[in-house]
Structure 1
Amino acid sequence: MYVELRDLELLDTLAEVGTLTAAADRLYVSQPALSQRLARLEDRLGGPLFQREGRKLLVTPAGVRMLSSARTVLAELRSAERDIREIRAGRDQRVRFTAQCSTTYQWLPPVISALQREHPGTEVRIEQVAGDEPLAALLDDRVDVALVTKPDRLMERLHVVPLFRDQMVAVVALNHPWTRRSHVTARDFTDVHLVLYDIYDQSRSPAQPLPLPASSRPGRVSTVPLVTDLVIEMVAAGEGISVLPQWVAAPYTEGPNARVAAVRIGAHGNWRTWHLATRVGDHAPAVVDFVELVAARFRAGTSGVQDAPSMLPALVGLGSSS
């Protein structure tokens, strides 16, 4: 069995656009040729990667796993190509950033705008990290700054400061019985069907712990690509429940056009602490300023977060290479 780069591009494009016709237009090939290429790939892998529903293609569990690897490889290749172009041109003005378990970056555009006023021409890149391991990526110099929440032994080798706390909430359909309750407990998750991002795929090694209270025993876990809209649509259709950060769920749970409802987990909420991590030692001025701007953004307040402490004294220790 072998997989070519164009196979990875095919998977990524099909998952994004959802039909063979649209993917063929995007990749500048004929639709029959693309269909044959997909069939050959599925034959080599020994199973279907997409389920056909009319003209629309839905990713199968095997496709989700392959898509995760495809996007990681493609992102790394694109990043390497950009880096090489920057090096050849004699400029390397960049801040490489990654966030653990987050697909929501409403707070980032103002940070980038402020950074570019101070450092014109600096590019902020959101990097995808294989296996959701941003701390290892920091140590390997594949990213410069990481926003992380999961405790890890690698933190001892990095400069890590607490940034804010956010609350994980259960996300359910509007007519779900939980919407009539003040909160749910670990026992309530027994035998439920969970719909989560594929970073929680329990077949991975090592597997990421499920975002549930201790002693929870869900009956079934379905994972989907890191697309919040897809999770919300499945929950809204009654295909299961999810657990998301409150600030990620808020656009879908608040206001007259709410698609789903949020329910507190535990009497006092299920909170987690986020940290901002960098390598120990001196950093380029743009990296230092980016970290300070991110910290200031969360100190000013972000929906669904609490306890954003003053970080300037801690951040001074980052230093500068100038």
Structure 2
Amino acid sequence: MKQVFDVIIVGGGPIGIACGLEAKKKKLRYLIIEKGPIVNSLFNYPVNMQFFSSSEKLEIDEIPFISKEAKPKRNEALEYYRRIVTSNKLNIQLFEKVNSVVKEGELFKIESEKATYESKNVIISTGFYDLPNTLNVPGEELRKVSHYYKDPHFYASQKLAVIGASNSAVDAALECWRKGADVTMIIRGPEVGQRVKYWVRPDIINRIEEGSIKAYFNTTVSEIRQKEIVLNTPNGEERIENDFVLALTGYMPNFEFLKSMGIHLSDDEKKLPDYDPETMETNVPGLYLAGVICGGMETHKWFIENSRVHAKVIMDHMVRERAVPAE
């Protein structure tokens, strides 16, 4: 007889792991399905990235997170969450992408690349790092263009354009400049983003003011070519020499995936999913959201530190209203 899970958790990031820990405590039949390695999105962060949050705010299930500095770096976070998964022997399937979640009667049918599962409840905790906000300009498909930044060494001695003014764009600009890249920032607004990490923002402003890093404000890109990019500046069109482009303009949740499950989204540009903030249950009974996926396009409103509570909220409601604990 095929096993029916009490809950399947789609997404093995920090919040998905937190949900797995809570499910284990409740003695539920659970499974976490992750399309990549453990905490896939964190793994794909820049190698030198430092979190805005302090280590205690990244903790889940009150498991201490000890880091060398108050604000941990990517490699420390990877080790922390990996140890939680392995030491707690969480039931997790890695490198297995979920293609569809369909409710059939009282059960959900979950189709992945490797298997078909059935579950009484489903939690979607997939984050927002998989789909970049594209520029929609000619040349964006060129190999020289990337929406993800990994390692500054790659851009040493190259003419690099960094598009954006958020934390990721500022970190990339500074790191690449320090490794010898000729960096130009293309910023749509009049200044560097106000939400940039407070200890980094003065650094990038000073580098721009002294001319070490060039910056175009109130400017957009109209075309990307093999050896140059074309800009729309306040003074008209301008072309600058260019070898590589980092278009770090943010990311969005997979809204089509949410809609395919029957989750309603708001009609405005925020695309907020329909869920009860008291229980995290969506308009589809038994289907829950956890983590930054709850914010729609407002990806800056949810973080690990303020969404880690979702796990307990969901499991408490699930056991009380929907699931039968495993014997």
State the TM bucket, normalised to the shorter chain.
Answer: under 0.3
Instruction: Give me the TM-score of the superposition, normalised by structure 1.
Output: 0.22
